[in-house]
């Protein structure tokens, strides 16, 4: 692996969460369990919604998309990590690393966009209930998801192409369990200033922008709920947002926790360990949050499993 441009690099080395041999079996079992729970849990949500005609509404259409994105999001990182532990190898090909990075960025940002669209759906349902079915029609719901996919795909493609133009030196060890964009940039020998500008600008536009949209939606929702005269009416209105608000809080708190802690400690290993929260734990918990706090999902799951 001699210095040169990216096309001459054959592979990177993923150091993983720990290099201690005695911990590999524990890490393998833990991550395999979490991955299977994530896949089957989100798949059950998709099947329950698809099989129940009462759940063919905008809110559950977006939830179905969120579950699909969570499955894909986790599948970009965990299977490769499990394979490396199983084969006792740390290698990932250059092409595989770029591909993993591309899909990781795609589904991470898409997760954010779907949560924003779901917040808008709740905003319309509570603040404009009489016009809900007119505003949130099938055409608009499909368009919102399609635009989200296109924007995220273009962004991930841009970031990947920007990395492919870089040159890498002989030190190709990534102190992470997947090809994280920032960690890969730190291995480059060539100037990464343009990459950093694009990365931080994108983080502000595609990260802070949707968060601002979610906060605005919920500020309007809270204002509308406060105007409801009865306590029962307030509870009923808020209960339709409780699951989504829990998922949003979990998603953003884990991401902020990862990057704030890594910025404070400047420790790549600590960052890799903390990133498990939003890459693996959050997608695993989402089905539980929606199934435990939603009576319609509970009934649909009971009918599905009863069959």
Q: Residue 3's pLDDT is what?
A: 41
Question: Is 35:74 a contact under the CB 8 Å cutoff?
Answer: yes
pLDDT 10s digits, 42-85: 999 999 999 888 889 999 999 999 999 999 999 999 999 999 99
Distances (CA, A) of 238 to 24, 53, 226, 242: 44, 24, 10, 6
In this predicted structure, the answer to whether residue 117 has a pLDDT above a threshold of 70 is yes
In this predicted structure, the answer to whether residue 6 has a pLDDT above a threshold of 60 is no
Three-state DSSP at 299 gives helix
In this predicted structure, the answer to whether residue 124 has a pLDDT above a threshold of 50 is yes
- DSSP conformation class of 170: S
Measure the CA–CA gap between 270 and 69, rounded to whole angstroms: 26
Give DSSP secondary structure letters for 109-131.
HHHHHHHHHHHHHHHHHHHSGGG
pLDDT 10s digits, 166-181: 888 877 888 888 998 8
Over range 177-202, report the average pLDDT: 88
Over range 110-115, report the average pLDDT: 94
**Between 246 and 115, whose confidence is greater?**
115
Name the pLDDT band for 2 (thresholds 50, 70, 90): very low
Domain positions in the chain are 4-306
Measure the CA–CA gap between 29 and 33, rounded to whole angstroms: 6
Name the pLDDT band for 121 (thresholds 50, 70, 90): very high
Over range 111-127, report the average pLDDT: 94
Give percent of the chain with pLDDT exceeding 90: 46
Q: Nearest CA to 142 among 62, 211, 213, 67?
A: 62
- Residue entry with tokens 């890969």: 184
Please calculate the CA angle 47-149-111 and round it to the nearest 5 degrees. 65
Q: Residue 260's pLDDT is what?
A: 65
Distances (CA, A) of 95 to 6, 68, 70, 79, 105: 10, 25, 23, 16, 16
pLDDT 10s digits, 247-278: 888 888 877 776 666 555 556 666 777 788 88
Question: Is 105:156 a contact under the CB 8 Å cutoff?
Answer: yes
**Between 195 and 3, whose confidence is greater?**
195
Looking at every residue in the chain, the average pLDDT score rounds to 86
CATH C-level class of 4-306: mainly alpha
Q: Residue 277's pLDDT is what?
A: 82
Q: Residue 242's pLDDT is what?
A: 83
Going through the chain in order, the beta strands assigned E by DSSP cover 4-5, 11-14, 91-93, 167-168, 173-174
């Amino acid at each position: 692996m001699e210095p040169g441009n990216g096309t001459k690099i054959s592979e990177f080395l993923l150091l993983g969460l720990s290099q201690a041999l005695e911990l590999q079996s524990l890490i393998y079992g833990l991550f395999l369990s979490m991955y299977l729970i994530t896949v089957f849990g989100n798949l059950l949500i998709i099947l329950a919604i698809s099989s129940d005609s009462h759940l063919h509404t905008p809110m559950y259409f977006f939830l179905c998309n969120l579950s699909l994105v969570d499955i894909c999001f986790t599948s970009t990182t965990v299977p490769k990590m499990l394979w490396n532990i199983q084969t006792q190898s740390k290698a990932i090909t250059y092409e595989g690393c770029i591909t993993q990075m591309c899909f990781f960025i795609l589904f991470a940002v898409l997760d954010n966009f779907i949560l924003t669209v779901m917040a808008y759906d709740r905003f319309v349902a509570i603040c404009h209930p009489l016009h809900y079915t007119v505003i949130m029609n099938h055409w608009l719901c499909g368009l919102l998801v399609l635009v989200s996919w296109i924007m995220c795909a273009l962004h991930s493609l841009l970031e990947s192409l920007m990395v492919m133009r870089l040159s890498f030196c002989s030190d190709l060890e990534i102190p992470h369990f997947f090809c994280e964009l920032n960690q890969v940039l730190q291995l480059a020998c060539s100037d990464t200033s343009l990459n950093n500008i694009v990365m931080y600008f994108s983080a502000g536009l595609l990260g802070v922008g949707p968060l601002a949209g979610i906060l605005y939606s919920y500020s309007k929702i809270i204002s509308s709920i406060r105007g409801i005269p009865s306590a029962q009416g307030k509870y009923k209105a808020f209960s339709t947002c409780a699951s989504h608000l829990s998922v949003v809080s979990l998603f953003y708190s884990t991401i902020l926790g990862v990057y704030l802690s890594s910025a404070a400690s400047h420790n790549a290993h600590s960052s890799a360990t903390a990133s498990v929260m939003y890459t693996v734990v959050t997608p695993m918990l989402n089905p539980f949050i929606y199934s435990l706090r939603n009576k319609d999902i509970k009934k649909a799951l009971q009918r599905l499993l009863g069959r």
